[in-house]
Structure 1
Amino acid sequence: MYSGFARFYDVLQGGTPEPFAAWIERRAAELGREVESILELGCGTGAVLDLLPAAWAKVGIDVSPDMLEIARIKGVDADLIEADIRDIALDRRFDVVACVYDTVNHVPVSDWPRVFAVASGHLETDGMFLFDMNTLGRLRGGAGRSETTVAGGSTVTISISDERDDRYDWHVRIEGDHDPIDETIAEYGASLTDVRRMLTEAGFTRVEVSGGRDRPVDDEAPRLFFACRR
């Protein structure tokens, strides 16, 4: 995943790391004590980690070696580990565990409990798990559509296929002064009710959900943001 696409990722995302980093800092401040560490599940090119306070000890996990290599080239100050976020077992705990940029949507829904268990198992007792997801409404609304943008001198076309068992394939084609790059990235959707149940089963007793910018908190919101504590 994100192999040939990796070197275009930051350009395509534009300024979006800043709001995610600001959200993480704002919610982390609610711990009411000094934050010392963060684990990011699905850190990609390290764009979010790079914006967080330098005083925080940072660890980033990603399954894509190409994305991690870009993070290293950029000089992101974090321990970067190539691994599947469903299976990691680090011998340490963190004040904050984050999983942003709808990373959880890249995992089949049947494995979301494993991701939530990893997050819970790596949190300090009073720590916070922060993540966001594309909703079923957003995924279903995008199915069958195609969008073309220009980024970094290349033309990027993203087409989203129709639903198959709550799976939506994002077909990415990048053309420019290079050989065409084609990649298919799967996203999976789950209902808010099912996500709440999975979080409870993972041991989270306090779950706050927002739709961002005062939007409704339901399956039709474009994106939902979760702040979870045990």
Structure 2
Amino acid sequence: MSQGSEPRTTSVTSKRFYDAYSSGYATYLERHTGYFRAVEKEIATAAGNRRGLALLDVGTGTGERLQRIISAIHPDRVAAIDESPDMAALAQRNCPSAQVLAIPLSAPELPGELSDRFDLVTCLSNVLGHIPKAQLIPALKQVRSLMKPDGVFIFDVNNRYNAATYGPLSVIRNMARDRVLPGGGDFTAAYRNGDEVLQTPVHLFSPSEVARMLRESGLKAAKIGFRDYVTGQERGRFGGSIVVKAVSV
């Protein structure tokens, strides 16, 4: 590419985006350390003192967060999945005790690859926002099928009413649109990869959308909270990402 010319922009799948992003993902993690640690404390609280705990991490990324969670709750069995082979390879290196599979959630073969069900399932950093809308409820139903009867599912998603991140005017527009066409909306994530800018759509959820998709997938919210995406402090519905603890109905 000649000096001063603009990099080309390419729309890609979530899988290709995170294959490329795997090398720069640590910087993103550092920017949101306070938020991530707060969510991880909620996971540790949910795990409690269960004996023989089995943990599944969906969309594990580099596995660095998973290794911190393992160190905090000491599960007997750990499995993790990620649709990006490059991310899955990093996760396996960072979590040598885990069974890490390069496979997407909702893949028909996934239950057969996992030998048993889980006490705790985690799905962090808006992984659900990368799942195509038509596949989202089937994916959540699959999560439910992978949980033990008393299992817990903890996930977080980007809140389209988060004024602290997107600004008050954007939130007002989003709320007005949702009154006419409920169902959240998308934004475009971008990553500079050499001479190319990769873009992929990412879904933003509303709190009511989260509650609806839980009902449709046979899950029940035990807790829906909001945390500042930088500090991790608890906020109201207009001040942070959505953090959910769910159980089977």
TM-score (norm. length: structure 1):
0.77
Q: What letter corresponds to residue 222 of structure 2 in structure 1?
A: V
Task: Report which stretch shifted further, 88-97 or 59-68.
Answer: 88-97
> Post-superposition shift, 1:78?
0.8
> Post-superposition shift, 1:19?
3.4
Q: What letter corresponds to residue 224 of structure 1 in structure 2?
A: I
Query: Contact 1:109 / 1:189 at 8 angstroms: preserved in 2?
Result: no
**Residue deviations 1:97-131, cap 9 Å, x none?**
10001111111233221221121111111110000
User: How do 1:18-97 and structure 2 match up within 5 A?
Assistant: 18-29=37-48, 33-34=50-51, 36-53=53-70, 55-56=74-75, 57-87=77-107, 88-89=110-111, 90-97=114-121
Question: What is the aligned counterpart of 1:172 among 191, 194, 201?
Answer: 191
Query: Contact 2:92 / 2:99 at 8 angstroms: preserved in 1?
Result: no
Structure with the higher fraction of residues in strand conformation: 1
DSSP-derived class of the 2:50 partner: coil
Aligned length: 201
> Post-superposition shift, 1:93?
0.5
Instruction: Provide the residue aligned with 1:103 in structure 2.
Output: 127
Structure 1 alignment gaps of length 5 or more = 143-164
**Residue deviations 1:50-108, cap 9 Å, x none?**
11235311111000011112223335421000111122323410000100011111112
Query: Contact 1:28 / 1:35 at 8 angstroms: preserved in 2?
Result: no
Instruction: Provide the residue aligned with 2:158 in structure 1.
Output: 134
Instruction: Provide the residue aligned with 2:23 in structure 1.
Output: 7
Q: What letter corresponds to residue 28 of structure 1 in structure 2?
A: A
TM-score (norm. length: structure 2):
0.72
d(CA) in 2 for partners of 1:72 and 1:60? 9
The answer on 1:201 being equivalent to 2:216 is: yes
d(CA) in 1 for partners of 2:96 and 2:127? 19
Task: Report which stretch shifted further, 58-67 or 33-42.
Answer: 33-42
Identity of aligned residues (%): 22
User: How do 1:176-195 and structure 2 match up within 5 A?
Assistant: 179-180=194-195, 182-195=197-210
d(CA) in 2 for partners of 1:76 and 1:182? 32
Instruction: Provide the residue aligned with 2:244 in structure 1.
Output: 226
Task: Report which stretch shifted further, 91-100 or 45-54.
Answer: 45-54
d(CA) in 2 for partners of 1:204 and 1:53? 25
DSSP-derived class of the 1:136 partner: coil
Cα gap change, 1:8 to 1:199, in 2 (>3 Å): same
> Aligned-pair RMSD on alpha carbons?
2.5
Cα gap change, 1:197 to 1:12, in 2 (>3 Å): closer
> Post-superposition shift, 1:167?
1.9
Name the structure, 1 or 2, with higher relative contact order (CA <8 Å, separation 6+).
Answer: 2
Structure with the higher fraction of residues in helix conformation: 2
